[in-house]
Amino acid sequence: MSNFITLEEAKSLRRNFKTNREKLPGTAEAIPDSETFSKEHLEQLLKQPGCTSLRIHFGMDEKDNLKLMITASNEKEEDILEDKNESVLEDGVRCPPNCPPQSDLDS
């Protein structure tokens, strides 16, 4: 399962992403710098019966924009998709255009 990394390791990953983003297929606008999801919606996923973790899936909309989707998963690492209307969290606040203030990750 995942582990925490140091702030320095995270900064290195961010620098590599920002440096190499333009080299990725498609346009840089199609690949968000970040997406923000509300605590309320994340807690809703975490409260699903059997939830032991969250999984991030990658998707793409009709304009070829990368989209992040989050699902709850169980101890067998299976997605929990019982509520067909509220099992997949998407539509986070994309940056750009709606970017948060810079943090230590970007220094």
| Cα–Cα distance for residue pair 72/53, rounded to 1 Å | 6
pLDDT tens digits, 36-60: 999 999 999 999 999 999 999 999 8
pLDDT tens digits, 4-35: 888 898 899 998 988 887 777 766 678 888 99
Amino acid, res. 80:
I
On whether the CB atoms of residues 35 and 94 are closer than 8 A, the answer is yes
- Domain assignments of the chain as residue spans, ordered by start: 7-100
Output the pLDDT for position 27.
65
pLDDT tens digits, 63-100: 888 899 999 999 999 999 988 888 999 989 999 889 99
Distances (CA, A) of 1 to 40, 77, 102: 24, 10, 29
Output the pLDDT for position 3.
82
Amino acid, res. 56:
I
Output the pLDDT for position 107.
80
pTM of the model: 0.83
Residue 24 per-residue DSSP state: S
